[in-house]
Structure 1
Amino acid sequence: MELLNIECLGKRLRLEGSMAGWQQLYWDNQLVSQKSASADNQSFTIHEFELSRPSSLAEPSHDDVITQTNRQVMKVRLESDVQWQPFIINYTVLVDNNTIADGQRNSKDIERQTPEVAPVKQQKFSFVGLASLGFKLLKSAKVIKTMLAAASVAAYSWLFSIEFALALIACLVIHEYGHIKAMKHFGMKTKGIYLIPFMGGLAVSDERINTRWQNVVISIMGPTFGLFMSIGCMLAYWLTGNIFFAGLASFNALLNLFNLLPILPLDGGHILKSITFSMNSMVGLIACIAGAAAGVFISYSLGLALLGFLLLIGSLEIVFEWKSRHQSHLLPLDRYGQIFSTLWYFITVGLLIAIIWYFAASGDEMLSMPLEILRS
């Protein structure tokens, strides 16, 4: 992950590193120093490299020839002290033993940073690249967004009824808006909500996350907004006595509870991955595999083909996460963040179950259906 990115002698000085201990220092996107992962690595690290420049500050003309004798060799030294939980990095940059920059960065700075983008390499034609381009065009086309929303309403109306379709769309939009709200909280640019027939919804952002905490908040805010909607529908039911609001509260709670299953790529799976991989890579791998195994059992028991398809995507995500564990750019959760995220998850799950249980106790057959699904 990117630990530091500051200006040094008119160029960018960037420090990349991970909890495994390795660090790489770049000046003007050129690797100038690196430290390998080792059990002997300490939090305090020193990187040194040399630069040469003309002894005169004036730029040479085309007729001038700069020889080695009229070049000045400068010794650059970066001293950094990294504490991972909670994350703090203190740094000092020296040129010829003179301090030119120093300061401190914490997790808030990591959340707000825009990571360095590697130069784009020219690639040959491929169907994968064509599909990627098509998906980018899809995301940028507002007319496609409208068409997908209309197709979702039509599909759900055909399966059930127009009333149910509109209610389901409302549940999906509120859920996805929770994700969008969290992204905007972290200053991320968003492209809005996309409704996909029979698949649900998708909140799209132009930017990648920098910390596990961002991943937790963005993932859990969808179900949290869904919880708020169920509570609002419950209040409307108490005020009006209209059973429609009771049914909407209960089924919306079931929808968001399903999304909190600890299975990738569902929101619950992302929360589980962020918490466990922040503890230890092996703990994260075991937890995600256990979640996938539970998902296979649920998919087979209930005959949920769509869940099986999602599990395939989630399995690829687990493999990718494990392979890139030493090069991950994500700042891990500290102990407080792990505990808080776990409590937030279980409180949300508990309240959603409580809403389902409350309406099932009324004895109404329709309102008892979500609880019967849970018991199955």
Structure 2
Amino acid sequence: MDVQVQLLNIDCLGKPLRLEASLAGWQAVYWDNALVAQCPASADNQGQRSHQFQLQSGEQTLTITLKIDLNWQPFSLSYQLYAQDKLVTEGQRNQHDIEQQTPVVAPVKVSQLSLVGLASLGFKLLKSAKVIKVVLAGASIAAYSWLFSFQFALALIACLVFHEYGHIRAMKYFGMKTKGIYLIPFMGGLALSDEKINTRWQDVVISIMGPTFGLLMSLLSLVAYWITGNIFFAGLASFNALLNLFNLLPILPLDGGHILKSISFSMNSIVGLAACVIGAAIGVYISYSLGLALLGFLLLIGSVEIVFEWRSRHHSHLLPLDRYGQVFSAIWYLLTVGALIAIIWYFASSGDDILALPLKILSS
């Protein structure tokens, strides 16, 4: 059975009546967590439907009818609840309502064995201890000081924290409770929250706000370099841009992987997938044309990964992006990537070997 989205939760005869559905066409109605009506998967996954079932109220058996009119993109739901053909309640729901809800049945997340996943699990078990944050921050400073210098390590930590703070701000914007930022030596950082997201728009915004804040950090460093002429700010702007650019690569579990997956998986037609593939191919071509071999290779790998997972786009509890959300997310993503590359290119043209290192990494 498909993973379903909780679309409605209202009172019926003093107990909760819940409607769940999926893009694959499944619809199910639960009364007090007991299944009372359902529709199997079908190609017709939206429009008007009527669910009728019998409920016991005291010694009386009542015929209950739930009529709905569902539209997935853009999402809207209107409903009417009848008891014995008498209207009991009616209303409408939109994407904002889905974003703010707490599902009665929490979506089951399929765990994947990875170093990042294991690290995340370990930190979630220890996140209640604030001392862990201090220990990890100290370990990160020591690790980066060993690789670079103490001053640059502090600056790099500031960049990581600023990046993760972008994720935190996005989580708070959607009303999610956050558990703070955890720095991981040689791996970056994690912004943690106990709450689950309900829509792909939330996934896009939370994912892209980290690199967006990172871009802001590089721009501030660039301005500081113009004002002071201090090469330290130039290096900070360039290496921070490289750090955030790698986070935007379309490879899971990186931020870019979440963004591209949310955009791609919100497209229902093969035309949408074709557009995504063509866009990725153009990106690969441009990368190789500019001599950014590594960037082009990783972009290709990430795009292939998304294509192979596209068939499972309906097996998710996340409400898809509408057309406007898909276009806006793609433009936001491309502008952020372009700006980060421009900063790296700008400093590489200065003739300084250290400042040219980020571009050499992309060209490797």
Give the TM-score, by structure 2 length: 0.84
Question: CA contact under 8 A between 2:23 and 2:45: conserved in structure 1?
Answer: no
Give, in whole Å, the separation in 2 of the partners of 1:267 and 1:150: 25
Which residue does the alignment assign to 2:40? Answer: 36
Of 191, 199, 206, the residue aligned with 1:218 is 206
Deviations 1:336-362 (A, max 9, x none): 100000000000011111111111121
Deviation at 1:322, TM superposition (A): 5.8
Indicate the residue corresponding to 1:8 in structure 2: 12
Offset at residue 335 of structure 1 (A): 0.6
* 8 Å contact kept, 2:267–2:273: yes
Q: Say yes or no: does 1:251 pair with 2:239.
A: yes
| CA offset digits 1:167-202 (Å, max 9, x no partner) | 111111010000000000000000000001111100
State the AA in 1 paired with 2:40: S
1:17 matched to 2:24: no
> Structure 1 pair 184/279, CA: closer, same or farther in 2 (3 Å)?
same
Within-5 A mapping of 1:273-312: 273-280=261-268
- Counterpart of 1:237 in structure 2 is 225
Question: Identity of aligned pairs, percent?
Answer: 68
Match among 47, 52, 63 for residue 51 of structure 2: 47
CA distance in 2, matches of 1:209, 1:355: 33
2:127 pairs, out of 139, 157, 176, with 139
Query: Do structure 1's residue 166 and structure 2's residue 154 form an aligned pair?
Result: yes
Q: Specify the SS of the correspondent of 1:239.
A: helix
SS in 1 for 2:69: strand
Distance, in Å, in 1 between the alignment partners of 2:274 and 2:261 is 8
How far residue 48 of structure 1 moved from its aligned partner, in angstroms, is 0.9
Say how many residue pairs are matched. 333
SS in 1 for 2:37: strand
What is the letter of the counterpart of residue 266 of structure 1?
A: L
2:264–2:310 Cα contact (<8 Å) kept: no
| CA distance, structure 1, for counterparts of residue 131 and residue 269 of structure 2 | 42
Q: Which amino acid aligns with 1:254?
A: L
Residue 273 of structure 1 contacts residue 287 of structure 1 at CA under 8 Å; is this kept in 2? no
Aligned equivalent of 1:175: 163
Q: Return closer, same or farther for 1:363/1:141 CA change in 2, 3 Å cut-off.
A: same
Identify the residue that residue 290 of structure 2 maps to in structure 1.
none
Shift of 1:134: 5.5
- Tell me by how many angstroms 1:318 deviates: 9.4
CA distance in 2, matches of 1:156, 1:269: 26
Q: Secondary structure at the match of 2:252?
A: coil
Q: Residue 16 of structure 1: CA displacement?
A: 0.6
Q: Is the contact made by 1:176 and 1:201 (CA closer than 8 Å) also made in structure 2?
A: yes
* Cα distance, 1:42–1:111 mapped onto 2, change above 3 Å: closer
**2:140 — aligned with what?**
152
Match of 2:113 in 1: none
> Which residue number in structure 1 is paired with residue 317 of structure 2?
329
Q: Counterparts of 2:251 and 2:119 in 1: how far apart (Å)? A: 26
Cα distance change on mapping 1:133 and 1:243 into 2, 3 Å: closer
User: 1:16–1:25: 8 Å Cα contact kept in structure 2?
Assistant: yes
Q: 1:318 to 1:174 in 2, by over 3 A?
A: farther
Q: Distance in 2 between matches of 1:358 and 1:278?
A: 35
Bigger relative contact order, structure 1 or 2, given CA contacts below 8 A and separation 6+? 2
Deviates more, 1:272-281 or 1:331-340: 272-281
Query: Normalised by the size of structure 1, how large is the TM-score?
Result: 0.81
Kindly provide the CA deviation profile for residues 25-78 of structure 1, in whole angstroms up to 9, marking residues without a partner as x.
111111100001113555101111111122xxxxxxxxxxxxxxxx11111110
For residue 371 of structure 1, what is the aligned residue in structure 2?
Answer: 359
| Residues 187 and 358 of structure 1: CA distance in aligned 2, closer, same or farther (over 3 Å) | same
Q: Which is higher, the Rg of structure 1 or of structure 2? A: 1
Q: Aligned-pair distance for 1:268?
A: 0.5
Cα pair distance change 1:152/1:107, threshold 3 Å: same
Unpaired runs of at least 5, structure 1: 55-70, 121-129, 295-300
Amino acid at match of 2:237: A
Aligned-partner Cα distance in 2 for 1:161–1:82 = 58
2:81 is matched with 93
Structure 2, gaps ≥5 residues long: 109-117, 285-292
Q: CA deviation at 1:240?
A: 1.0
**CA displacement at 1:280 relative to structure 2:** 3.4
CA distance in structure 1 between the partners assigned to 2:257 and 2:274 by the alignment: 12
What is the alpha-carbon distance in structure 2 between the residues aligned to residue 11 and residue 191 of structure 1? Answer: 33
Deviating runs (4+, > 6 A) in structure 1?
130-133, 281-288, 317-321
Is residue 106 of structure 1 aligned with residue 110 of structure 2? Answer: no
Structure 1 pair 46–359 and aligned structure 2 pair: CA distance change class (3 A): same
